[in-house]
Structure 1
Amino acid sequence: MTKRQLKFHDHEFEIDTYWLDSLDDQPKPLAIVFPGGAYKFIAGREAQPIALKFASEGIHAIVFDYPLISEKQAIYPLVLQEIATLLNWVGEQSKVHNIDLNKILLVGFSAGAHVVANYNTLMTNEETKKEIFKDDIKVQPAANIIGYPVIDLTLGWPKEDWAMKISADILYWQAQEHLNNNSKPTFIWQTVTDQTVPVMNSLVYAQKMELLHIPYELHLFASGGHGSSLATYVTQDGNEDNVNFANAKWWELCMNWLKVRDILPKE
């Protein structure tokens, strides 16, 4: 793992890169990971373990240390501007690290999934994109993966006054409302018993994708809490509730979906 500092205008941000050694000249997919943390912190259980899991599947990974709630700077639109900057940087690195620019994934958990969902809506619409990021975005994601996602800030999370702190502009509150015909295919998973982020978030996003005929795959597991990450002992973090053999199947299901999408080779 190597840390890198990137910059959008005068705002610096950090990424952790997990490049795979090239044993051949075959370009590899890249997953850009957005951990959860309620926009208050970056959840470690959804950072390095997820990046290493992608690496085990032959996929480069980057963990993005996106902006958090502070008094100095609003999260939006800065976070979307930083993602666009990162994607353009990835394009510059493609030959150095053998990155397949046609197989870029945005991977978000909880609040990180809200970031991914907003990028998939606002930055795939030319009208809203040009208001947020003036330059060309030369690299675009091929697909998204979101786990126990925050989609709509009015559906039960946050319960306190976090919505206004995340953004005072309601443009960024309800990602499903801005899905469009250019939005990318998305793999969605959550538990129906999630007591932190209501499952309705996943349902409204999938429903809008269905109406727009955007490819998606939705998996809702019968039990389990919020934030289980891989749902195995690897990401248990001292909490037995984070281990769930049934929910852990999401990874295998997701890898199968990536094969269906021709992002991973079919075996």
Structure 2
Amino acid sequence: MQTGEPSRTAYSAARYRADHQELERGAVFRDPLARVIAGDGAAGEYLDEDARRRMRLFIAARSRFAEDALAEAVTAGVGQVVVLGAGLDTFAYRNPFPGLRVFEVDHPATQEWKRQRLAATGIEVPASVTYVPVDFERDALELALPAAGLDEGSPVFVIWLGVTVYLTADAISDTLRALGRLAGGSEVVFDYGLPRPDPTPEQQAAAAARDRRLAAIGERWISFFTPDDVSELLRDNGFRVMENVPAVALAQRYLGRPPTATAGPQLVRARLGG
């Protein structure tokens, strides 16, 4: 992010979700507010058509994965959800669960921009929504959430999508340490990037182009983990891994067809306690 400016990658993710509604008719993930909040224009104009499609389906799949898991948690009695790095996520404004409190956590500049977008587009902010301004690299999440009204004695479901690759390893560890202090039975879903120990020339070129685009908007991919690394980090903070799945495998889960790629980010779901 540029200092004092909202996250441009949050805007791009919202546009991919909006494009998915139109180009794949929301086949993986339905979000009727995506285009409203994202505005006109398509995402990934610098990518070829196949790469844009893969990115759309990945972003749709990770949202579907998280919200399906959230629905299971609510059925089991969870009454609070925390969306870390909320960006232009719209769950809070189409929340189907009466009584579910939603805490949106994000960088103050991005959060202020989102609230302006909501006001400009006429999307109503329900009373169940609480905004929690946090800079993950500087602020103490374990202090910010209770100060905003989170019930520390009750389980929480945490959604943390599209964020970890932009954070330092220390910030990720600090965040998971803070989440490990939540009530037993709390859950977290997040995605993370895999290291490429022996990238092909094509992969090296694609990564270099990506890094140039991100540098132009003051962002960069910093942290990568193996599935074993993530599982160990979660265990160290009291979590039991429930799923640690390649994003490409979700094509089969949600579309009933084999994956069209062999690499990509991972998604993990973990529960605090036994």
Give the alignment's TM-score, normalised by structure 1.
Answer: 0.32
Give the alignment's TM-score, normalised by structure 2.
Answer: 0.31
Q: Tell me which protein shows more strand as a share of its residues.
A: 1
Q: Tell me which protein shows more helix as a share of its residues.
A: 2
